[in-house]
Structure 1
Amino acid sequence: MPRPRCERCQRPLAHCLCPLIPHLDSRTRVIVLQHPSETAHALNTARLAALGLVNAELRIGEVFDDLATLLTTPGYRPVLLFPGDEAEVLQAYGQGDDLPLLLIVPDGTWRKARKMLYLNPQLEALPRVTLGAVLPSRYRLRKAPEPGAVSTLEAIVQALNVLEAPAGFDALLRPFEALIDGQIAAMGAETFERNHGQG
């Protein structure tokens, strides 16, 4: 019989993360487009981001029919958080009255994220933004596929920390770190060191 789960964070009730999830407001609106294959992952970091940010939304799918409406949300300038030669490095909002960003964040493996762009030409056409100096991932359970690779949640936190400085969004990482600590405890320190320790 499956263990009862928290409806909000979707973790087993004994490991509910809701007390650690903050309630943070942001000038930036964050829309996470999650590939359906990501929803079953134990560390569903995109969901944690959407739960912890007041001005955020999580959409699940490969093709998004209401994209045109989403991208014309009044009062925001839509951009895609995705690296590439054309991507502009994020910088803090100016003192003027620039429109805040509607930050579209694909959530999936690189291959699946690229497929989502291909299937949604309006996404592909968006101006791209990227992180400048990427902080190392705190995701100690998975080897990064390449230097500078971070989880979706970490990418969102780093982006907001840059855009909305001096405001900080590191509180969003609390449930993520608790989740990782719990998984390390479950596997045992020795197994963790053997498989994930710094060699």
Structure 2
Amino acid sequence: MSRIHCERCLRPQTHCLCALIPRLDSRTRVLLLQHPSEVNHALNTARLAALGLRNAELRVGEVFEDLEQWLTQPGYRTGLLFPGEGAQALQAYAGDERPWLLVVPDGTWRKARKLLHVNPLLATLPRVTLGALQPSRYRLRKAPGEGALSTIEAVTQALNVLEAPALFDALLRPFDALIEGQIAAMGQQTYERNHLR
């Protein structure tokens, strides 16, 4: 017998995170492009980010036929939040500067790169990155490299930089609860043995 899931956060009903998910306004628009393999992942952080931001949209797929239409948002300048050669570090908005439409690929590094490969329009976008990174709170996964963040952490840090002094840390409440729940489910000893080395 399968467990009943919340239709909004997709978590099992007994572990629903909806009470922890904020509804935050932002000048910045966030377009999350999620690889299909991430949809049923226990820590689906792109979905949490989309639910927590009023000016965000989550699209799931590999090839996005409507991508050009999604990227043409009047009043926004578009950037791909993804490291790479020539990527510029995000900086706080100055006065009436046009806000960003941040396109954020969601998946493992390999799957995110595949999204860029099979959607050539993404490769034409200017790349933007985070300058000084806060350390990841994702204590259950070994990062593939220095500065690797979950999608929700990257979005939160980007918004904190762009819209300073406003803070978007409330987006991380359900993420932190997910991590704590996973640790509790595996037991502290198992967590320490497998993740604190």
What TM-score does the superposition give when structure 1 sets the normalisation length?
0.97
**Aligned partners of 1:179 and 1:5: how far apart in 2?**
15
**Aligned partners of 1:25 and 1:145: how far apart in 2?**
32
- Secondary structure at 1:137 match in 2: coil
**Aligned partners of 2:64 and 2:84: how far apart in 1?**
22
Alpha-carbon shift at residue 60 of structure 1 (Å): 0.2
Alpha-carbon shift at residue 164 of structure 1 (Å): 0.2
- 2:120 equivalent in structure 1: 121
**Aligned partners of 2:97 and 2:67: how far apart in 1?**
23
Structure 1, 65-74 or 16-25: larger mean CA deviation: 65-74
1:15-62 deviation per Cα after TM superposition (whole angstroms, max 9, x unaligned): 100000001000000000000011111000000000000000000001
Matched, 1:137 2:155: no
- 1:109 equivalent in structure 2: 108
Alpha-carbon shift at residue 75 of structure 1 (Å): 1.2
For 1:1-199, what aligned pairs fall within 5 Å after superposition?
1-95=1-95, 97-197=96-196, 199=197
State the percentage of identical aligned residues.
73
Structure 1, 123-132 or 113-122: larger mean CA deviation: 113-122
Alpha-carbon shift at residue 90 of structure 1 (Å): 0.4
Alpha-carbon shift at residue 139 of structure 1 (Å): 0.5
**Aligned partners of 1:99 and 1:145: how far apart in 2?**
34
Q: CA RMSD in A?
A: 0.7
Alpha-carbon shift at residue 159 of structure 1 (Å): 0.2
Moved over 6 A (4+): none
Extract unaligned runs of 5+ from structure 2.
Answer: none
2:57 is aligned with what amino acid? E
Structure 1, 72-81 or 160-169: larger mean CA deviation: 72-81
Extract unaligned runs of 5+ from structure 1.
Answer: none
**Aligned partners of 1:192 and 1:9: how far apart in 2?**
25
- Secondary structure at 1:58 match in 2: strand
Alpha-carbon shift at residue 110 of structure 1 (Å): 1.3
2:195 is aligned with what amino acid? H
